[in-house]
Structure 1
């Protein structure tokens, strides 16, 4: 049983201002597996005070000093990777192979990329007589979700550290274990006191005070669009910078060619990964209308091959994160049936043989139209919708007919055609044939948010740009 009842503030583990705690339930067993303290506005105040005190010193450090710290973090992160993986499986049900593989690996990958970017980033640039300087924005409030904990912590904390900012991290109260271990990693790596602070808690208790706090210069939030709107409202009176990575309902356009069968099967597998709990999941598969029945048959077989069960075992899919999430998914599956979509695989209820735990059947709907609820709402579970298109113009029209614009996918053997289609999708991240790149900018159009994370692009929002006019005399040849 895990018990995390202290916060990391000012370089020390400290008791919360008020003794409040939350029991964490293992989604595979529905049993309590730990306790975490819940913070308050008073804890946010203490953390902001520590971060503001640390900012002058940390912001003036050299690039080399920050590189060395990130490299030290990488060493400790590697040593604690098994601990992180075990916590992921316990707190949000990630299968062991996924938790110890891609879930933890994403954090390590973003850390390595941050070091690479920092070594090559120009913080000053002479333009004629003007010096353009990029300076750390200040104290950052970082609010992360439960579905990919290490990925989302990494893409916020590491750029903030690299650019010379100080910060307060609020992990999701549904996946607090990994956040606590991450704080232990940074402490062991020697992060200076006050540069990184951790306050656990929920949205009303910690998230809202963090967003509204006048001592915070920037808020970086990942989560639902609904919560993102509230974050922006709370931040507005202090005119702080707000960056958000929000919901998605991403199209996956399968081209009509010889790779069709393989690409449909691949699309099903991608959708079921992490139990469908991925904001950029390819949840709307678009196939030629004339091949709908063929696609449905392929998808049925692919879904049948998804092994669901105890995340500690050799399975592809574990449970979803919590009971309310399970109930929401069940309701939406039933709504898809009621609205007339063809249920190809799965459906309501738990998979056979699993009568305990928040397990959802890998579900596929065919003959979906883009006005159906299951094609409009972010289900955030292992539910794939297949829609038919008449031609590529129609496919692109359907793909862009959504309030979201986080991600898009194109799969096909004709690379030139796939590239042309990808250019026309209105989304911040468009993958051709399942490509992946740690250096690619990640973020959304429309109601999927603003700002970008990952690679060099993830540094930009943590920097202010200052122009110093007349820095170089006109006759100096541009030399300061």
Structure 2
């Protein structure tokens, strides 16, 4: 990657003001393969100044111009699709088949959805004698995580561009390479100078500078709840808008009328998505008490079919965790589950057999987990499923809602009306009924400590808009 020592500011690749260096490590081999320049507040100042200069002209562009730009971005992205997949395989350990079919595919899916939204979106509306106008909020600071690198930058950059905003992006230092490639895509697509700016860095060096900057009007942050609190605190003195998508501990309620074999097997698959490194996946499976023994055996069979291995092997289903710190955290939480009395059905601590190098975790299932156990309360971010028993539908709803998080929830039932009724009672931003396909127009975001904004589709676009009322405007 030719730009790891540079930032993209004001339409050019530039040298950092005073770089620190960070080794980008392949989690499958535990070896560095790139050196990344990390920036500081001086780099953020340059990027914000460029974004501020570009805002007046970019915010005045027509919808047709923005649609045309997003379509050019999509075309360039599609041409470089395989490069994105390969970089995400190396930087965060996504198996190549999943990198192509899951990770890289999110870029095209979200761009297509956002283009459709923008082509049909009303930026003005007449309400009596008042004209309600939606305008770009201004300069946006975008801070993204490592686990879905392209997905997370596209769901921020695309709606910001569509709204007429300018921006400064700080991706995770653990998965920066696909973001640098996306900057190349934006440059080739003709994004005007200063509209998009990229500064690599860590939280204290660049993230804090973005959150506190007086010339940034909005911060969109995706990451841990702990880090989200720090971002909100840093942003508060300048009263900027803060949109956050944070952690999750999503429940998957299997009602007693399900096809148990299918429901459990698909639940294991959903929990193991991205090697368990997703905030919205169903990591708590709630099972009728009288079905727990059978469900645990089904989960065991399903988990033990997963192939863990080299990320360049097309047959690999689960890759390594992203770094040593995450690997050690997952090992600690698996041990916690054992120590606190959960029944280990399969997996456990340590690496899978034959994988002595790489941050690989065993596909793990616990049964007879109780709601007070650590593995039922804390986000693990690894291929670990916790199975909890319940007695009634009301009991299942109470257990599902009995968490600080509220990002997603899942309900499986042979009766769709019954699933709908339970779904309405769940305190989560996205409730998935009977394992539906992804809907890239559906609002994505959480309740409680899972955040306070929405991404994807029209809801994502609205996060980057301010509302102006022209009172006394007269009839349309």
TM-score (ref. length: structure 2): 0.99
Counterpart-to-counterpart distance in 1, 2:463 and 2:78:
28
Evaluate the alpha carbon distance shift between residue 94 and residue 129 of structure 1 in structure 2; reply closer, same or farther with a 3 A threshold: same
Evaluate the alpha carbon distance shift between residue 346 and residue 6 of structure 1 in structure 2; reply closer, same or farther with a 3 A threshold: same
Q: CA deviation at 1:2?
A: 6.7
Counterpart-to-counterpart distance in 1, 2:90 and 2:65:
36
Counterpart-to-counterpart distance in 1, 2:271 and 2:33:
28
Give the SS at the match of 1:220.
strand
Give the SS at the match of 2:385.
strand
Gaps of 5+ in 1: 473-477
Match of 2:445 in 1: 443
1:270 matches 2:270? yes
TM-score (ref. length: structure 1): 0.98
Give the SS at the match of 2:168.
strand
Counterpart-to-counterpart distance in 1, 2:116 and 2:191:
19
Task: Check the 8 A contact 1:139/1:217 in 2, yes or no.
Answer: yes
Give the SS at the match of 1:448.
coil
Counterpart-to-counterpart distance in 1, 2:98 and 2:413:
27
Task: Check the 8 A contact 1:3/1:35 in 2, yes or no.
Answer: no
Match of 1:41 in 2: 41
Which of the residues 445, 466, 469 maps onto 2:468?
466
Structure 1: which 4+ aligned runs deviate by more than 4 Å? Answer: none
Give the SS at the match of 1:450.
coil
1:174 matches 2:179? no
Q: CA deviation at 1:256?
A: 1.2
Q: CA deviation at 1:101?
A: 1.0
Q: CA deviation at 1:270?
A: 1.1
Q: CA deviation at 1:269?
A: 1.1
Q: CA deviation at 1:3?
A: 6.1
Matches for 1:88-167 after TM superposition, within 5 Å: 88-167=88-167
Matches for 1:276-425 after TM superposition, within 5 Å: 276-313=276-313, 314-425=315-426
Task: Check the 8 A contact 1:260/1:412 in 2, yes or no.
Answer: no
1:15 matches 2:15? yes
Task: Check the 8 A contact 1:287/1:387 in 2, yes or no.
Answer: yes
Give the SS at the match of 2:221.
strand
Counterpart-to-counterpart distance in 2, 1:457 and 1:355:
45
Counterpart-to-counterpart distance in 2, 1:396 and 1:144:
32
Task: Check the 8 A contact 1:269/1:306 in 2, yes or no.
Answer: no
Counterpart-to-counterpart distance in 2, 1:259 and 1:142:
43
Q: Deviations over 1:286-342 (max 9, x none)?
A: 000111110110000000001100011011100000001000000000010000000
Q: CA deviation at 1:19?
A: 2.6
Q: Deviations over 1:424-478 (max 9, x none)?
A: 1100011111212111000010000001101100011100000011111xxxxx1
Q: CA deviation at 1:102?
A: 1.4
Task: Check the 8 A contact 2:258/2:412 in 1, yes or no.
Answer: no
Q: Deviations over 1:60-108 (max 9, x none)?
A: 0000000000000000000111111000000000011111111111111
User: May I ask how many residue pairs the two structures share in their alignment?
Assistant: 474
Q: CA deviation at 1:281?
A: 1.2
Task: Calculate the aligned-residue CA RMSD, in Å.
Answer: 0.8
Counterpart-to-counterpart distance in 2, 1:2 and 1:274:
27
Q: Deviations over 1:214-253 (max 9, x none)?
A: 0100000000000000000000000000000000000000
Task: Check the 8 A contact 1:3/1:34 in 2, yes or no.
Answer: no
Match of 1:76 in 2: 76
Match of 2:240 in 1: 240
Give the SS at the match of 1:343.
strand
Counterpart-to-counterpart distance in 1, 2:340 and 2:147:
29
Q: Deviations over 1:376-407 (max 9, x none)?
A: 00011111000000011000000000000000
Q: Name the stretch that deviates more: 252-261 or 322-331.
A: 252-261
Match of 2:213 in 1: 213
Task: Check the 8 A contact 2:3/2:13 in 1, yes or no.
Answer: no
Which of the residues 452, 455, 465 maps onto 2:454?
452
